[in-house]
Amino acid sequence: MKETINFLSAPCEIAVRKYVPSIRASIAIVLVRVYGLSIYRAAKLLKLTPAAVSNYLLKRRGGDYIDTVLNDAELYGMVSKMAEQIISGNIDEKRIPLYICDICRKLRLKVEPKPVVPETPC
């Protein structure tokens, strides 16, 4: 399903639909596959259902950028650090949206085409 984007959409509205699901999925994947958490434990830590985490692991849910996040060293490092902080409990829940925003900003810079500025006729 191809999404149409309203020309009045704010960048964060677009990001919430297009990039943030991939970031959430990547965090869930790291928690289960790298840190060895069960689907149930990961779901509890992320405040998701076990079914949601299972769908993230199977890449049935989470968008088109999961592989981009997991295969890019910088993005993977950011996701891994966040997963580590979630496991250890050393993360301020109020700052989680800011961490996700940082990851999203980096992801957008890597996957969105650079705008081309036309030459001025003068």
The band of 83, judged by pLDDT with boundaries at 50, 70 and 90, is very high
DSSP state of 34: I
> Which of the pair, 116 or 51, is modelled with greater confidence?
51
User: How large a percentage of the chain has pLDDT more than 70?
Assistant: 88
Question: What sign has the CA pseudo-torsion 101, 104, 110, 116?
Answer: negative
Which amino acid does the sequence have at 100? I
Angle formed by the axes of helices 20-29 and 39-46, nearest 10°: 140
Q: Which of 38, 34, 30 has its CA nearest to residue 103? A: 30
What was the pLDDT predicted at 1?
45
- Residue 22, number of CB atoms within 10 A of its CB: 27
Locus of tokens 């309203």: 6
The band of 122, judged by pLDDT with boundaries at 50, 70 and 90, is low
Burial 101-110 (b: 16+ CB within 10 A, else e): eebbebbeee
Strands (E), 35-105: none
